Amino acid sequence: NIRNLTERRKLGFFSCGTGNPIDDCWRCDPNWHKRRKRLAECGIGFGRNAVGGRDGRFYVVTDHTDDDPVNPKPGTLRHAVIQDRPLWIVFKRDMVIKLKQELIMNSFKTIDGRGANVHIANGGCITIQFVTNVIIHGLHIHDCKPTGNAMVRNSPSHFGWRTMADGDAISIFGSSHIWVDHNSLSNCADGLVDAVMGSTAITISNNHFTHHNEVMLLGHSDSYTRDKQMQVTIAYNHFGKGLIQRMPRCRHGYFHVVNNDYTHWEMYAIGGSANPTINSQGNRYAAPMNPFAKEVTKRVETAESKWKNWNWRSEGDLLVNGAYFTPSGAGASASYARASSLGAKSSSMVRAMTLNAGSLPCRRGRQC
């Protein structure tokens, strides 16, 4: 059983903790910088088997530029992420990286921003397309712009024409075993994290989302039925100031929304269409002051006669300031089993567990 597997790994190895099992697994170690790859053993949820670049060498990014997306210079982030071998990518110093085009990842990569203040901003952002085993940790990603109609390299042996990209912070397309952890994401042209086109085995954890309209889209379209296999865990995130909707907006698949702190939304928090299964456990939902936006949930452009059969449940959620969650479905246990990926903690612990959501100011030789 998935829950036992996850718990049996004794994630509380250094437990100095807040009860957040990912953080308690590595953050209490003052020598985290000498044991960076330990992070790959700390995953939870549907993306917990993402090893990223654990089995490869370290690659140190020394150059913030992105002058030529077809022939990237050694030392740049783009040169690192396109390589065919596993790599654990770290940064020599603080940097702001303005990408000319989207950053097209290759498989078995970790981008680890710990110990430096790294911003990917004001240009293209991260595309994870038709690959596996990617970990994105510790970045500030914001003000992403639409790019495209250009040649971009995606491996040492291949570059190709890219049509227009929407300007997502992180776009996951036809990919699996993906873990997005402890990033600060805001103010992009389209979504902050979008996962579409048959992507699955994804964990989105410990991120801080702010100042954005359509935060997270999971599922390509109502007609794209390959996304029926999608499984995504959304855990320990802080959905914060200036957010409007889609936290997430789901289609078709199985979504475990667990122990997140929702302090701001303007329209709704969790939406969906095309019969997704949504398992909401141990979250804190604080409704906005607007008396017409108190509902956590939204069924998008669907008649009640249809959505009343969708499996959406709220268990142990803390509903604050008049927030209410509209459940549906007969509660088919098999359906919720496929939308369960770890044990939820009490919603009373959510604030402590999400207090350090977003990119962490880690310094070598100290607990992070």
Active site residues: 246
Residue 362 CB partners (closer than 8 Å, separation 6+) = 32, 33, 114, 115, 138, 368
| Residue with tokens 């971009």, as numbered in its chain | 152
Residue 68 CB partners (closer than 8 Å, separation 6+) = none
Nearest residue to 104 (alpha-carbon basis) of 34, 200, 173: 173
| Cα 27 from chain centroid (whole Å) | 19
In terms of phi and psi (left: phi > 0; alpha: psi -120 to 50; beta: otherwise), the region of 308 is alpha
Are 270 and 300 spatial neighbours (Cβ–Cβ below 8 Å)?
no
Q: What is the 3-state secondary structure of 226-263? A: HHHHCEEEEECCEECCCEEECCCEEECCEEEEECCEEC
Sign of the four-CA dihedral 237, 174, 222, 187 = positive
